[in-house]
């Protein structure tokens, strides 16, 4: 049976998974992009943007692993795009170009119904309006025994954490302070939720933390 | 000229420098002691408790460095002891036995006057009732050009941070989640205060972060 996991979810040293003021120019909020500077030099990212080379060490290994054995993805609407409120039309197709990096069904949490969006590379986005548990149920069915990845953003991850629905997390701590934005830890007691840090591994540009929930 | 610094200040992954419910049996709050499990195996700690041996790697090097070039120490009253309100008598002499590990003048922030307490090993505790700036002024004079260390707890460090009086910090991130207690980052924007993480070094049992303030 697959598990429900968060992988390569990057936060600042002060716990922010995105900066403040997300918009079209700042999909991760102001300075949010700095969080991910560990990922850009990796071979897996370089390959994603069609380039050869890249780093092959710890950061690349964890980045590779973050995509493994995933049968379905879930994300919040703000991760899908900057559009708010009812969908005005079908023009927005995500941040990722014609062939998004998911290659599975992707369930997008929203309050506003929308037809599924089929894209190249076996990516289909389904828009789920009846809550996180429904989205997870659909994702599990689609994953056919593989894992379901909860991608983000912070609010989506916290909703699934509070509901006790996440089994394992791979957090990446980037050595920056954001000071403001969306904080993963505020209002969440990971200890009380049963999570322990079972691995704490330094990469070239960040620290990788593996958290498992004792059940 | 000396600087004002915080050294070996240990926090959990979720930013807590102490657990909740501090008392005589839990000087660092419930589970607060787990934060410091990186320190106990080091040679410098083993020597402090009169034992030979101990680890000599990264953690020990940072622990050693945390005591270097310090001419005076400052701490909050709760770090000095569990007594609250007016001092009932002179019986409480700190957590550290007859010969505390400071070996300098130590300025204790309190609202209640008390005569200085002279102890073995060149430790004298002065009780300062007229605020953090006064304590720092006295500490700088006593340090004679060496550094002043702001020891803690969390509330004391945050007061000095907000006042813009700290130049450098060595934070230690222990791979545990406390979920509750005293959080170093809540209500503090280290980025806005000018701090950058200039070193991010993995030890055997924790991650060491060196923060410098751009002025």
pLDDT of residue B49: 87
CA distance A182 to A170: 18
Q: DSSP readout, B26-58?
A: -TT-TTGGGGGGGTTTBHHHHHHTT----B-SH
Of A176, A190, A195, the CB nearest to B197: A176
Terminal CA-CA length for chain A: 16
Nearest chain B residue to A185, by CA: B14
Per-residue pLDDT of chain B (215 residues; tens, 9 = 90+): 899 999 999 999 999 999 998 888 888 888 888 999 999 999 999 998 889 999 999 999 999 999 999 999 999 999 999 888 999 998 999 999 999 999 999 999 999 999 999 999 999 999 999 999 999 999 999 999 999 999 999 999 999 999 999 999 999 999 999 999 999 999 999 999 999 999 999 999 999 999 999 87
**Cα angle A131, A133, A139; round to 5:** 105
Of B14, B189, B190, the CB nearest to A185: B14
Residue A120 half-sphere exposure toward CB, CA atoms < 13 A? 5
Residue A176 touches partner B, C-beta closer than 8 Å: yes
On average, the pLDDT of chain A sits at 95
Residue B180 touches partner A, C-beta closer than 8 Å: yes
pLDDT of residue A25: 82
pLDDT of residue A188: 95
3-state secondary structure of B14: coil
Contacts 24+ apart (CB under 8 A), A119-126: A119/A93, A119/A94, A123/A99, A125/A80, A125/A94
- Chain B residues with CB under 8 Å of A192 CB are 179
Q: Where are the domains of chain B?
A: 4-82+99-213
Nearest chain A residue to B202, by CA: A202
The reply to whether residue A209 touches residue B15, judged by beta carbons under 8 angstroms, is: no
**Cα angle A127, A114, A22; round to 5:** 70
Residue B130 neighbours by CB distance under 10 Å: 12
Whether residue B146 contacts residue B125, with contact meaning beta carbons closer than 8 Å, is answered with no
Q: What is the fold of A4-83+98-213? A: Dihydrofolate Reductase, subunit A (3.40.430)
CA distance B93 to B74: 16
Terminal CA-CA length for chain B: 16
- Which segments of chain A have a pLDDT < 70? none
SS (H, E, C) A145-198: CCEEEEEECHHHHHHHHHCCCCCEEEEEEECCCCCCCEECCCCCCCCCCCEEEE
Strand partners, B207: B173, B202
The reply to whether residue B177 touches residue A200, judged by beta carbons under 8 angstroms, is: no
Cα B113 to chain centroid distance, Å, stands at: 22
Looking at 3.30.1280.10, 3.40.50.300, 3.20.20.450, 3.40.430.10, the CATH number of the domain B4-82+99-213 comes to 3.40.430.10
Cα separation values, B183 from B16, B146, B171, Å = 4, 29, 13
CA distance B113 to B130: 10
The reply to whether residue A209 touches residue B185, judged by beta carbons under 8 angstroms, is: no
Helix orientation angle between B132-143 and B154-162, rounded to the nearest 10 degrees:
90
Minimum distance, in Å, between the CA of residue A62 and any CA atom of chain B: 17
Query: Phi-psi category of A131—alpha, beta or left, where left has phi over 0 and alpha has psi -120 to 50?
Result: left
**Mutate which of A14, A157, A198, A211 to disrupt the B interface (most B C-beta within 10 Å)?**
A14
pLDDT of residue A48: 87
Whether residue B172 contacts residue B10, with contact meaning beta carbons closer than 8 Å, is answered with yes
CA distance A152 to A146: 19
The reply to whether residue B175 touches residue A200, judged by beta carbons under 8 angstroms, is: yes
The reply to whether residue B177 touches residue A191, judged by beta carbons under 8 angstroms, is: yes
pLDDT digits (tens, 9 = 90+) for A93-119: 999 999 999 999 999 999 999 999 999
Interface pTM, i.e. ipTM: 0.85
Minimum distance, in Å, between the CA of residue A98 and any CA atom of chain B: 36
Closest CA to A177 of A32, A79, A40: A32
pLDDT of residue B21: 87
Contacts 24+ apart (CB under 8 A), B86-89: B86/B112, B87/B112, B87/B114
Closest CA to A35 of A56, A50, A16: A16
CA distance A71 to A106: 9
- Chain A residues with CB under 8 Å of B206 CB are 200
């Amino acid at each position: 049976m697959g598990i429900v996991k968060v992988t390569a979810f990057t936060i600042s040293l002060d716990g922010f998974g995105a900066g403040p003021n997300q918009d079209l120019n700042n999909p991760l909020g102001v300075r949010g992009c700095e969080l991910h500077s560990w990922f850009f030099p990796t071979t897996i990212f370089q390959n994603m943007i069609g380039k050869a080379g890249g780093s092959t060490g710890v950061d690349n290994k964890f980045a590779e692993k973050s995509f493994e054995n995933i049968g379905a993805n879930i994300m919040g609407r703000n991760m899908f795009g900057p559009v708010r409120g009812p969908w005005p039309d079908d023009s927005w197709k995500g941040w990722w170009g014609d062939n998004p990096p998911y290659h599975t069904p992707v369930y997008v949490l929203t309050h506003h119904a929308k037809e599924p969006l089929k894209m190249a590379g076996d990516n289909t986005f389904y828009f789920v309006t009846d809550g996180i548990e429904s989205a997870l149920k659909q994702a599990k069915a689609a994953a056919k025994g593989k894992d379901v990845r909860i991608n983000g953003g912070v609010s989506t991850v916290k909703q699934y954490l509070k509901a006790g629905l996440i089994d394992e997390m791979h957090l990446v701590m980037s050595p920056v302070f954001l000071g403001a934005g969306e904080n993963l830890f505020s209002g969440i007691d990971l200890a009380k939720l049963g999570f322990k840090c079972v691995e704490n591994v330094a990469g070239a540009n960040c620290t990788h933390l593996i958290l498992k929930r004792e059940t």
